[in-house]
Structure 1
Amino acid sequence: MKKSTRKVGKYEVGRTIGEGTFAKVKFAKNTDTGESVAVKVLAKSTILKHRMVDQIKREISIMKIVRHPNIVRLHEVLAGRAKIYIILEFVSGGELFDKIVHRGRLSEDECRRYFQQLIDAVSHCHSKGVYHRDLKPENLLLDSYGNLKVSDFGLSALPQQGVGLLHTTCGTPNYVAPEVLSNQGYDGAAADVWSCGVILFVIMAGYLPFDEIDLPTLYQKINAAQFSCPFWFSKGAKSLIQKILDPNPKTRIKIEGIQKDPWFQKNYVPVRPREEEVNLDDVRAVFDNIEDQYVSEQSTVDEGGPLIMNAFEMITLSQGLNLSALFDRQQDYVKRQTRFVSRKPARVIISTVEAVAESMGLKVHTRNYKTRLEGISANKVAQFAVVLEVYEVAPSLFMVDVRKAAGDTLEYHKFYKNFCAKLDNIIWKPTEGLANSSFLRTMTC
């Protein structure tokens, strides 16, 4: 078996907790302080090949500039010989989207609190001249106290001298403002406000205000702001959402207006972030000398089998150190809950996963007890990808971690439920008596 640790500078880097097209996110621990962090790992060769140096450098610089209690904090940037390591705040509560998927709509008071935190974070970004441009529930994380944290500034923009409007069409279609789709130039602040309005609608309704299978129809509805609020929205919430989802960016309510709105003001305690001196020396050191600046890297991986998951890593699957979140499947805030346990040999687990995926028409790539499944999304307009990794929890007991690598989160949840049904013969379901005493009972589908 092999252990999943790597030492990068003062950080002990462990299991993968997220994966994208160009980067992996891994859990890590600061060996000096014991603090848990998330490490975004990017290959230098990929950055250079795809000419992403300026984009990544911009994203990192922006995250250092916009320090706020409701924004994921970037601690520092390190470079190894072949990789770049972005050290981020570890946010243990999962995505806000997962909470919506598991519970449907949230209570109005809960929605208001999340929305207040979102607006505070976005307002702070705008005060620094930063526009996020990809605000959606998947990019809103929750910490162990249930506080919202804005993440993923990969599409964010800083104003250019002498240029008033932005012109890049980007973001997720369902959350994008009409003027962004028109290719006529747009105000980044007004576009972010629109996305915030869609988010508020989603968390209150449990579904999207604009949602069509084909993009032309979707764009028509967005351009016309064609939506209706469900009956359970209060008068105040409905009024505010209608002011935000105004298709005319010039008459759309601004951040300052939202913060003064009576519905928004209820129990509102504005956050006052302390001013900090921002030092970008580490960013310059990494990217201005991308070929030769590096920190020490020590791998402690032993080949031969699935990764061994130690007790500390298992704790990180729960919400902070509250172990009940790991052990109780009924709790809504467990991150995705997309993992299951099997008592079958690791080789059998992988071969079964491959066979089921192929029967579903997915492309399969397997290496070292890690499998990537790829296909086309349900709306036929984007790629859909899932990564499965097998971990040894104990002798003859394995946990399979499943996570979205590309595609829509709601579609991912539907896929996972269907996929688990087809893997029923390898998923371990403890007996009634054992289920009451074993913490692993909760990790099954």
Structure 2
Amino acid sequence: MPSAACAIPPAAAPGDDNTTAVSPKVLLGRYELGGLLGRGASAKVYLARDLLTGRDVAIKSFPNPRAGGTGTGPAPIEREAAILRRLRHRHVVRLHEILGTRSRVHFVLDLAAGGELFSLVDASGRMTEDLARHYFRQLVSAVRYCHSRGVFHRDIKPENLLLDAAGDLKVADFGLGALAADAGTSPLRHTMCGTPAYVSPEILSKQGYDPAKVDIWSCGVVLFVLAAGYLPFNDGSLINMYRKIYAGRFRCPNWFSPELRHLLRCILDPNPATRIGTDGIVDHPWFRHGATGDDAELARVMSGHDEDAWFKTEFKEEIGREMSAFDILAFSPGSDLSGLFGAGPGTERVFVGESAAAVLARVEDAGRKGGHGVRREGKNRAAGPVYIEAESGIVAKVTVFKIADAVSVVEVVKGHGPEASAFWKDWLQPAVKPPAAAAV
């Protein structure tokens, strides 16, 4: 994976497949898109630079799930967005914002500049036990945090364990993730999901499973692979491999320490009722090896969520009151966002890389300089609407909708007559379309 400090090469933008770009594409006036980092069954991931901060990020670009259709249920990417918005942990890839167009949905994510975790294996194809413990601690910290937020990954495997520029673990790709069941409903799940070599026995039984125990099993398989260099359950026949998984039948290599062997037996227990939990893992002697009773480093790794206090208050409040681009996508009929990009007669809409307060302040200043009255109304006065008024009536009505951090949609409903047209051309258009603004 490219380094976070590397230059971004020109590349095709994440738009329609038949679109070719000969120069860097800027998404919504904010992100300069670079090369393709990878692709999956339903999404492509691009390197990008945030033009406001200069920071490199990853843009995961999906087709609009409801473009051209009238989907009745939540699309998988809507579930993934709901999951990622709950998480703020140093060892989980962070979702910064979601942007949408008529044909695409874009997740702005942390860039895992260090590539996959398996890039650190030695020439023998495995890690030392100490290095495996270091990253397993970070993995357990992330998984325990996700579970505390009611989030279950359900596809933990090496390909979804990435490294940031500092070499720390980042759990990625919650496309198969699940949220905790509502109160009063069964916590068991029945969806067949996961990667064959990492799937738990209870998923194979098709009797329902606890997704938290499924994640723990997969963590155990990852730990085995890190320390051994090969899978604990492997066979040329998929059916035979499933039989081994269902029976919990595996052998540890002779270089494993007794403590590691014991921990793996506790994690890869085919009975989910007796399988060890994350708290038990944290208290296990192998996991705590080298740590004192009040070891600050281990405590730091296991907390992991530096923004926890902020998340519990401000972030949850923001989720409750803000309308992100993805919220618009989820609630508009058929997820057709064409109204944002092709407004009706007398109405202009434009994306700007600014806060609502900054735009409305310029609008009010433009109204006064144009010799008109200015009136701000609405329950949320920070977003407007702002009415620009003359003796003949309303010249313009301006409202700003927050889409994401430092990205807003400005809607201008223009009045009738030459006075309104002159005001739009001479004063209002420059105010709502500053040089940094960019329409989609």
TM range (shorter): 0.5 to 0.7
CA contact (8 A) 2:67 2:336 kept: no
Aligned to 2:145: 124
1:173 aligned to which of 196, 221, 227:
196
State the AA in 2 paired with 1:245. Answer: L
C-alpha distance in structure 2 between counterparts of 1:6 and 1:53, whole Å = 30
Aligned to 1:163: 186
Aligned to 2:160: 139
Give the alignment of 1:208-357 within 5 angstroms: 208-266=231-289, 267=291, 268-269=298-299, 270-273=302-305, 274-275=307-308, 276=311, 277-278=315-316, 279-280=318-319, 281-282=323-324, 283-289=326-332, 290-292=335-337
Deviations 1:256-297 (A, max 9, x none): 100101110124332341221144431312322321165779
1:149 aligned to which of 170, 184, 189:
170
Higher mean alpha-carbon deviation, 184-193 vs 99-108, is at 99-108
Deviations 1:357-388 (A, max 9, x none): xxxxxxxxxxxxxxxxxxxxxxxxxxxxxxxx
1:69 aligned to which of 72, 86, 90:
90
Instruction: State percent identity of aligned pairs.
Output: 44
C-alpha distance in structure 2 between counterparts of 1:116 and 1:177, whole Å = 21
Displacement of 1:46 in angstroms is 7.3
Displacement of 1:53 in angstroms is 4.6
C-alpha distance in structure 1 between counterparts of 2:70 and 2:167, whole Å = 37
CA contact (8 A) 1:119 1:255 kept: yes
RCO higher in 1 or 2 (8 Å CA, sep ≥ 6)?
1
2:38 aligned to which of 5, 8, 18:
18
CA contact (8 A) 1:93 1:141 kept: yes
Is the counterpart of residue 202 in structure 1 residue 225 in structure 2?
A: yes
| Cα distance, 1:147–1:225 mapped onto 2, change above 3 Å | same
Displacement of 1:22 in angstroms is 1.3
Aligned to 1:40: 60
Structure 1: tracts of 5 or more residues without a match? 298-445
Displacement of 1:48 in angstroms is 6.1
1:105 aligned to which of 123, 126, 129:
126
| Cα distance, 1:170–1:194 mapped onto 2, change above 3 Å | same
TM-score w.r.t. the length of structure 2 is 0.64
State the AA in 2 paired with 1:30. Answer: D
C-alpha distance in structure 1 between counterparts of 2:261 and 2:81, whole Å = 37
Larger CA Rg, structure 1 vs 2: 2
SS at match of 1:87: strand
CA contact (8 A) 2:160 2:173 kept: yes
SS at match of 1:26: strand
C-alpha distance in structure 2 between counterparts of 1:250 and 1:234, whole Å = 26
C-alpha distance in structure 2 between counterparts of 1:127 and 1:222, whole Å = 27
C-alpha distance in structure 2 between counterparts of 1:152 and 1:272, whole Å = 19
| Cα distance, 1:4–1:27 mapped onto 2, change above 3 Å | farther
CA contact (8 A) 1:17 1:27 kept: yes
1:93 aligned to which of 114, 119, 128:
114
C-alpha distance in structure 2 between counterparts of 1:198 and 1:241, whole Å = 8
Aligned to 1:6: 25
SS at match of 2:151: coil
C-alpha distance in structure 1 between counterparts of 2:38 and 2:69, whole Å = 22
State the AA in 2 paired with 1:25. Answer: V
State the AA in 2 paired with 1:138. Answer: E
CA contact (8 A) 1:22 1:46 kept: no
C-alpha distance in structure 1 between counterparts of 2:118 and 2:173, whole Å = 14
Is the counterpart of residue 58 in structure 1 residue 79 in structure 2?
A: yes
C-alpha distance in structure 1 between counterparts of 2:249 and 2:68, whole Å = 43
| Cα distance, 1:45–1:242 mapped onto 2, change above 3 Å | closer
CA contact (8 A) 2:57 2:110 kept: yes
Deviations 1:220-239 (A, max 9, x none): 00011110000111111111
State the AA in 2 paired with 1:217. Answer: N
Deviations 1:70-92 (A, max 9, x none): 00000000012321111001110
C-alpha distance in structure 2 between counterparts of 1:211 and 1:172, whole Å = 13
SS at match of 2:85: helix
Structure 2: tracts of 5 or more residues without a match? 1-9, 11-20, 292-297, 342-349, 352-440
| Cα distance, 1:49–1:195 mapped onto 2, change above 3 Å | farther
State the AA in 2 paired with 1:177. Answer: S
CA contact (8 A) 1:59 1:156 kept: yes
